[in-house]
Amino acid sequence: LMDDVAQTQASLRALKSLGLRLAVDDFGTGYSSLAYLRRFPLDKLKVDKSFVRALSESDDDAVIAQAIINLGRDLRLEVVAEGIETLAELEALRSYGCEYMQGFHFSRAVPPAEIEALLRAAGSGPGAPG
């Protein structure tokens, strides 16, 4: 993405004009960069699961996760924490102000053929419109 920033920006703007929303996945690891947040028309920042896993074990990882959540929120991006597996992780991330989360705590991976039934069942539960 960073080899030709102008071309990348043009391509991403074209995708957004089609109605697509753009996310940086696994933020905080690998090739993710703060420059992406400044240069590209992003909608969402996904906190890498490695920070979530270490919330209860490492104060440093908890600080990093909280900083990513605050940074994303301050930049008016949706922030999604990945890899939530325990209630403790969920509660910690909520306390940091993270509004969106995904992981096995909510559901194991579901084959595509079963998604519709899962969503219908969830939609008929308490608080569902209808």
Give residue 81's pLDDT.
94
- pLDDT tens-digit map of 40-60: 889 999 988 888 888 878 788
Residues in Cβ contact with 84 at an 8 Å cutoff, skipping those fewer than 6 apart: 52, 90, 93, 101, 102, 103, 104, 105, 106
Which pLDDT band holds residue 128 (cuts at 50, 70, 90)?
Answer: very low
From edge to edge, which strands make up the β-sheet containing 78-81?
A: 23-27, 44-47, 78-81, 100-101
pTM of model > 0.85: no
- pLDDT tens-digit map of 70-118: 999 999 999 999 999 999 999 999 999 999 999 999 888 888 888 888 8
Per DSSP, what are the bridge partners of residue 24? 45
- Res 69 pLDDT > 70: yes
Locate 71 and state its tokens.
């940074």
- Res 21 pLDDT > 90: yes
- Res 2 pLDDT > 80: no
Rounded to whole angstroms, how far apart are CA atoms 65 and 52? 7
